[in-house]
Amino acid sequence: MSVVQTRDGKTLHYKVMGEGAPVILIHGWPLTGDMWEYQTVALVEAGFQVITYDRRGFGHSSHPATGYDYDVFADDLADLIDHLALPKVALVGFSMGGGEIARYLGRHGAARVNRAALVSSVVPYLLKTDDNPGGADASVFDGIKDDLRADRFAFLQEFAKQFYGVGWVTSPVSKGVMDWSFALAIMASPIATIACVDAFGRTDFRPDLPGFTIPTLVIHGTADKTVPIDPSGRAAAAGIPGAQLIEYDGEPHGLFATAPDRLNADLIAFLRAA
């Protein structure tokens, strides 16, 4: 098991696979770095070095009681890049993982990043406010936390159905994928699972958008009910100069598993253009 110690003494579990230009894949809530299985295989076979890691509180990384905010997450990413001595790296973030990219660029700059991809990402801002009327009401995030406290396991099983569009997408995932996702999700600390709802639901990444000074790809499903495309993917593409937006018509949130071949092809084409 490979681990890196963070600046505040926690450990992050990571994996490095393949040879070639390095790409860090940053996972979404409430999963682990292993959610990138389809993309890892495709990218390694395409000649890239793939790095995945478990966010603090998730998977095999440390499960502290506090520290679940994006300044800390961005510093964790910086510590991983430093540990691996990567002079230049591409960053790909799914859902909550897109927030790490935004805050990393806003906090640490883009000197060591050559491209960024936001997939079904929470960037730039999910919370409904006077200046963000298309966001979700705070009660949505409060309700998720209440449900997690009441029965985390039942919530995660139901959440996966919306996550993958079970019942409405043209290519729903198998029961095996659903079971796999549940197994990854329950590895997380319950404290981290709850705390990160506020992190991804209430963090405003709009001040971080000027940090995207590198080529940026935004991919989002038009039928995403978990992170609707208007306040996220479309708003991010509009707020990042020169960003390329690819909309996956009819795809749900978890398009890494519902449309893996298309996502892999789009990521490889984008990364090869570096």
Locate 13 and state its tokens: 């579990």
Displacement of CA 179 from its chain's centroid (Å): 20
Would residue 253 show up in a list of annotated catalytic residues for this protein? yes
- Catalytic residue from among 75, 224, 232, 266: 224
Task: Say how far apart CA 145 and CA 131 lie, in whole Å.
Answer: 25
* CA end-to-end span of the chain: 31
In this structure, the number of other CB atoms found within 10 A of the CB of residue 114 comes to 17
- Catalytic residue from among 61, 62, 95, 121: 95
CA-CA distances (angstroms) from residue 144 to 84, 94, 246, 249, 255? 36, 19, 29, 27, 22
Would residue 224 show up in a list of annotated catalytic residues for this protein? yes
Task: Say how far apart CA 161 and CA 226 lie, in whole Å.
Answer: 10
Which residues are catalytically annotated?
Answer: 95, 224, 253
